[in-house]
Structure 1
Amino acid sequence: MSEITPEVVTHLASLARIALSDDEIARLTGELGHIVDSVAKVSEVATPDVVATSHPIPLGTVTRPDVPGVTLTPEQALSGAPERDGDRFKVSAILGEEQ
């Protein structure tokens, strides 16, 4: 059984500057006690021989290899552009920043 008592909950609430009613103190005493007991139970089996895991099954990479491929030439990329400036797209100024 954990060492969480109503006095401990009251003390923690005062440190956190949280006003708790007597009903809340009673409820939190049980809930915090359950949490502390659960952590203690896990700590019993967490020995150096048990490897920590974040997933119960191994996960593989889900991305494809980064391999360079064929890209568009500037002429192909700009072929559908309404306006261009050399090898760049030309766009209208926005937000009142017209020149």
Structure 2
Amino acid sequence: MSDQEKGNCIGVYCVAKLSTGDYMTTFMTQAELNACAQQNGFNSSVWSGPFRGEMEKKACIKHAFKLWPKFKDNCFSNVVEYLNYTKEGI
């Protein structure tokens, strides 16, 4: 299916498989993603350029991460913490 056939994006989702074998799914609507974009500088090149889809995915993953069970010495936790406290967030 080509990009022209797909239609407008209504949101993004993230699925995580937990160590228990259960799955957690988190969905963000386009309105929530637009709010993230505005909060992070909607006119910045990464949010308004060709990488907008990647920024939306990252926003959803970071949002979902807040809901996941926390573990000590979690490498992903360290990466998210770094992204939250750096200007680039890349």
Instruction: Report the TM-score range of the alignment, normalised by the length of the smaller protein.
Output: 0.3 to 0.5
Tell me the TM-score normalized by structure 1: 0.31
Structure richer in strand, relative to its length: 2
Higher relative contact order (CA 8 A, sep 6+): 2
